[in-house]
Amino acid sequence: MDAVLDIRSKLSHFRILILGRANAGKTTILKGVCNSVEDPEIFNLRGKKARRRIDPLIVQESAERGLHNIEHQLIFKSNPQFIFHDSRGFESGSVEEIDGVKSFITRRAEEVTLADQLHAIWYCIPTDTARPLLAADEEFFENDIARKGESRFCSFVRRTRLTKSKVPLVAIFTKSDGLVTEAFNALRASGKSIKDARKLQASRAQDLLETNFLEPLKSKKYPPAGYVQLDDMRKETSGCHELIETTANAIDDKALQLLFVSVQQNNIGLCVTCAIRSGLISLDIVQPTLSWFPHVWVRLEVICVRLQCAQRIFCRTIDEVKHILAICICAEQTFSEGSAYSRGFASAFENAMEHYAGSELEAHAIQQYNESSAPSSDWRRRRQTLFDIIQSHPLRTYLLRTFVSRFDVLQGIGPPSTEVAEN
């Protein structure tokens, strides 16, 4: 794990190539992943920002013609640790267009530094179309273009050993709500009532997805490593949690997986899951557990040194479960604090630990785990039990109530409560 943390500490960005035909919803997906309502900033190959804003009409017209500048780097202010490359309109199936993508993937694989290499590929396929797979799609998955992204870098097992790592590719089925509409219309045409059609439309849409998209892709010589189905991303109920999880699971290198999970800020549950898994199998619980949370990397070394030396927080008799619960609960709580993303993380985290350690909240969390009767040999059940406890903890409410009580005392509104006095 030390080698993984060492590699992660040297990387600050995760680089993704997003492919797909025009109007596949690529930009909307990227906005959802980065929690942004603004368009990304565009940087050229040398990392210089475009001097003027690009006219959206020009971009749209270029996309419709299949033109693109795949070398441009798209970065969102809301999450600048992601670097995206967009193929624009990867759909015409022309030799020049496909060769351009091949060349880009190959060049990125030949970069000397891991930071400049390609780390993942998202392939967007709209499902609200009469043409499920185009010639470009067939070419891509029959010739294993993604394998050209194999890059050489130090293995996390032996840092002196160079290994090849295939760039993980995830297929994203976009606009799947269009399949529901298609299914509903087909059911109505077959004589079903409106009520029955609405009842059956979801299952019929899933059948259409399997028949027209999933089965053809899985039958290809080089199918994607993962599949994600997304509805209309413009809706508030739509999210990218499944895309984040599927991408993380598709990454076979531990260092890159840690980089991806600790860069994304959309799915805190995934951070907790990975932290629990690492904590249960590591001798040094603190760093392997904390390292999965995005806001920790601002001051990871400082906070780990403080935690290791803080006997009032972790005494030598505390078991691994108590360690993991304390670290994850406090890390999850500080994830929502804006100050935790700056150099104030150390103090914010320690403040949370001070209120958690030895409190009724900690005792209740331990009691919940003990009452779960999860056998030590059942790792999956232990992880799920810990995850449920962490996700339902009331520390945030407790800290807010404590803060308000202290503020009232300072303002002379009322006497200090017993709870505040004890703290």
- pLDDT tens track, the chain, 423 positions: 678 888 888 888 999 999 887 777 888 899 999 988 899 999 987 777 865 444 444 444 444 444 458 889 999 998 999 999 998 666 555 667 778 888 888 888 888 888 899 999 999 988 887 778 888 888 888 876 665 555 444 333 222 233 445 789 999 998 888 888 889 999 999 999 999 999 999 899 999 899 989 999 999 988 999 999 887 555 554 558 899 999 999 998 999 999 999 999 888 899 999 999 988 887 778 888 889 998 888 666 556 655 555 434 444 445 778 888 988 998 888 887 766 666 677 778 888 888 888 888 888 888 888 888 666 667 788 888 999 998 888 776 655 554 444 334 334 444 434 343 333
How would you class 408 by CB atoms within 10 Å of its CB: exposed for 0-12, middle for 13-18, buried for 19 or more? Answer: middle
How many other CB atoms are found less than 10 A from the CB of residue 106? 14
Burial of 373 from C-beta contacts in 10 A (0-12 / 13-18 / 19+) = exposed
Residue 346: count of CB within 10 angstroms of its CB: 20
Of 144, 151, 140, 150, the C-alpha closest to 19 is 140
Buried b (16+ CB within 10 A) or exposed e, 289-310: bbbbbbbbbebbeebbebbeee
Pairing status of strand 41-43 against strand 73-75: antiparallel
Per-residue pLDDT at 84 = 96
DSSP state of 9: H
Question: Tokens 């009767």 — which residue?
Answer: 373
Domain spanning 2-261 has what CATH number?
3.40.50.300
- CA–CA separation, 260 and 352 (whole Å): 26
Cβ contact 197:188 at 8 Å: yes
Contacts of 234 (CB under 8 A, 6+ apart): 28
Q: What pTM, to 2 d.p., does this model score? A: 0.81
Q: CA–CA distance from 79 to each of 40, 42, 84, 265, 413 (Å)?
A: 10, 14, 11, 8, 41
How far does CA 386 lie from the centroid of its chain? 20
On whether the CB atoms of residues 335 and 382 are closer than 8 A, the answer is no
Backbone dihedral angles phi then psi of residue 235, each to the nearest 5 degrees: -80, 145
Residue 3 has, within 13 A of its CA and on its CB side, a CA count of 11
179 — phi, psi (to 5°)? -65, -35
Q: Is 418 exposed, middle or buried (0-12, 13-18, 19+ CB in 10 A)?
A: exposed
Domain boundary assignment for the chain: 2-261, 267-422
What is the SS3 assignment for 68?
coil
Structure tokens, 162: 């160079």
Q: Report yes or no: 230 and 245 within 8 Å, Cβ to Cβ.
A: no
Q: What is the pLDDT of residue 127?
A: 87
Q: What is the rounded CA–CA span in Å between residue 88 and residue 100?
A: 12
Q: Taking a C-beta distance cutoff of 8 angstroms, is the pair 112, 155 a contact?
A: no
What tokens appear for 275 in the block? Answer: 């932290």
- What number of CA atoms fall less than 13 Å from residue 266's CA on the CB side? 24
Provide CB contacts within 8 A for 32, sequence distance 6+. 233, 238, 239, 240, 266
Torsion angle, alpha carbons of 207, 210, 211, 215, to 10: -160
Taking Cα atoms as reference points, which of 290, 397, 400, 386 lies closest to residue 346?
A: 290
